[in-house]
Structure 1
Amino acid sequence: MTLTTNKTFRNPIMESGADPWMYRHTDGCYYYMVTCGDRLDLFRSITMSGVAGARKTTVWLPPQEGPGCCDLWAPEIHFLGEKWYIYFTASDGSGDAGRKIYVLENENDDPTQGEWNEKGAIKTALPGLDGTVLQHDGKLYFMYAGYGNYPDYGSAIYAVAMDNPWTVSGPEVLLTKPEYDWEKQGGMAINEGPCFLIRYGKVFLIYSASTTWSDDYGLGMLTSDADSDLLDPASWTKSDHPVFVKCVENGVYAPGHNSFTQSPDGTEDWIVYHAIPTSEGGMENRQPRMQKFGWTAQGEPDFGKPVSTETDCPLPAGE
């Protein structure tokens, strides 16, 4: 990331990294994670634009072999019930069939301190990745991208209730599977990376579609009334078009696997995502980026176009 003046910045916010997760906490700090593959690193920053230069703590090293030893992907940090939790994908080295979502817990006020204890793997019905949690209306939900023996797609997004931050209960329900051409680019049909916005009486489930190495990796959206049964697939309406896609004129390809946060003063909504700076540039060249977004007159998120690396972006309000 480049600070061009004391009031602007340019993307990317880090030179490399995939699946960026940025969480704004009540202590005034931003907690930030990206996929590292062989470990979990946690950044603690007082600003959004400064996460790359912030203090980094390696909070977890996997076992050398066995369950959870390999391919640590898509870490997310959450604060639930006065404790910190990290959800991350890992495998036993056997590929997709051995991929699960694991949970760590920390009781310290500062998650870069204290001890992270493994609570084990979420007992999902299917192997999968990109696990996340939604705390809403006094209930806790788990969502993930599950792999099944599907003839026409690779992964779909499932939801299930939680008894606590590491235990699911009840049947899993399918919320979205690849149906449209824009969800089937790059050689596989994929729905993955679920995350949430709650606003104006609605819950928006934003997910990533197509393969992460494809230029056409982008974001789709499901919408539900905030007071509806979020475990009833009929409660959700799926957009028939993507809501955030590549921008050739700005030199941004494969934007996706995002998180959401707010500016330090709480007045602005921001999307944090990864993208590739060249066409067919490969997943190893994914870079974390962030930009402010707005809302339509109908109360839906309007993410606009991915901004160029040559664009001077105003710093988040309150920095």
Structure 2
Amino acid sequence: MENTFQNPLLDHLGADPWVWKDKDVYYFMVTRRTKIELWKSTTLSGIAQGDHKTIWTAPEKGINCANIWAPEIHKINDVWYVYFTANDGEGGDQTRKVFVLENTSDPFTGEWREKGFVNTDHPGLDGTVFEHQHKWYFIYAGYGNFPDYGSALYISEMENPWTLKGAEVLLSKPEFDWEKQGGMAINEGPVLLKRNNQLFMIYSASTTWSDDYCLGMLTASMELDLLNPHSWAKSDQPVFKKSEENQVFAPGHNGFTQSPDGTEDWIIYHAISESDGGAQKRSTRIQKFTWNADGSPNFGIPVATEIPIAVPSGE
């Protein structure tokens, strides 16, 4: 009988999941609010049962003492970095910044050092990075004194893994009704997916506690200038959204990885198992996705928690 697993991988306390595959090891992170924890596993379906440790704890006071959200581990030129959101516990969205940790050794045994915060134009959250044509880019959800929306996506080229250079460019702001559910108009949680000579910027829309939290998508061709907002085409419909039939609500804040043998593409995301369940009930889930004839990703429908799913190929 084929090996299977069921979602969620991490129930409750499973918000803002991120996974990074390095050779035959998966590294996994979720929001822990007062600290940053790191898991590692040789299987994707078993990441929540893998070894884990705390790699950083918030100070008692200061600019990064509270609301430690959405950590992401990345490997840049053989050096490890973690990007995470934090604030001072008092100023709300207007004091949120994206902070960076660096580890020049092994993620589990090496020392993590603080590199400060990324010099963004706006207060913000959900910072992520990607490489394209030998350049590194930073994208985040920026807050400002915007009359019509809460946060929007900005991109900038990077001078080094914790410093931006040049101007920030607004890539996406909430425009459609499905980006404005739950009491705020939100674009957040950007992540880059590169395939089929195209770049796909997947992001989360609406408020994370809303049933209608979902994923939107921007698309750009490989050869275009990524700092030109006209290079990106925005989908007018969500590319991944709730399934009332499957009792999966508020699917979003995702990452991407591949199966151990590299033959399958998987999305990792959080969702809520009941309508109006609230952000405190977000849980980590994964499922395989495919590709459309035009080369764009097809994430399908969020899988119900009681449905057995075949483990990723190579496990």
Partner of residue 114, structure 1: 110
Partner of residue 188, structure 2: 192
Partner of residue 141, structure 1: 137
| Counterpart AA for 2:214 | G
Give 1:95 shift. Answer: 1.0
Q: Distance in 2 between matches of 1:118 and 1:14?
A: 28
| Counterpart AA for 1:126 | H
Give 1:15 shift. Answer: 1.4
Question: Residues 94 and 144 of structure 2 are in contact (CA less than 8 Å); yes or no, is this contact kept in structure 1?
Answer: no
Partner of residue 62, structure 2: 66
Match of 2:48, SS? helix
Residues 113-138 of structure 1: CA distance to partner in whole angstroms, max 9, x if unpaired?
11000000001000000000011110
Partner of residue 301, structure 1: 297
Q: How many residues align?
A: 313
Q: Distance in 1 between matches of 2:92 and 2:115?
A: 22
Which one of 243, 248, 265 corresponds to residue 244 of structure 2?
A: 248
Partner of residue 19, structure 1: 16
Which one of 50, 74, 77 corresponds to residue 78 of structure 1?
A: 74
CA RMSD of aligned residues (A): 0.8
Question: Residues 2 and 310 of structure 2 are in contact (CA less than 8 Å); yes or no, is this contact kept in structure 1?
Answer: no
Which one of 275, 282, 287 corresponds to residue 283 of structure 2?
A: 287
Q: Distance in 2 between matches of 1:125 and 1:194?
A: 17
1:157-168 to 2 correspondence within 5 Å?
Answer: 157-168=153-164
Residues 268-316 of structure 1: CA distance to partner in whole angstroms, max 9, x if unpaired?
0000000000000000000000000000111110000000011110000
| Counterpart AA for 1:252 | V
| Counterpart AA for 1:145 | A
1:224-263 to 2 correspondence within 5 Å?
Answer: 224-263=220-259
Q: Distance in 2 between matches of 1:196 and 1:315?
A: 24
Partner of residue 102, structure 2: 105
Match of 2:17, SS? strand
Partner of residue 271, structure 2: 275
Match of 2:16, SS? strand
Give 1:82 shift. Answer: 1.0
Q: Distance in 1 between matches of 2:221 and 2:307?
A: 36
Tell me whether 1:313 sits opposite 2:309 in the alignment: yes
After TM superposition, where is structure 1 displaced by more than 2 Å over at least 4 residues in a row? none
Identify unmatched segments of 5+ residues in structure 2: none
Q: Distance in 2 between matches of 1:52 and 1:129?
A: 24
Match of 1:76, SS? strand
Q: Distance in 2 between matches of 1:57 and 1:234?
A: 43
Q: Distance in 2 between matches of 1:209 and 1:9?
A: 28
Tell me whether 1:180 sits opposite 2:176 in the alignment: yes
Match of 1:75, SS? strand
Residues 154-211 of structure 1: CA distance to partner in whole angstroms, max 9, x if unpaired?
0000000101101101000000000000000000000000001101100000000000
Give 1:6 shift. Answer: 6.4
Tell me whether 1:201 sits opposite 2:197 in the alignment: yes
Question: Residues 139 and 156 of structure 2 are in contact (CA less than 8 Å); yes or no, is this contact kept in structure 1?
Answer: yes
Give 1:256 shift. Answer: 0.1
State the identity as a percent: 59
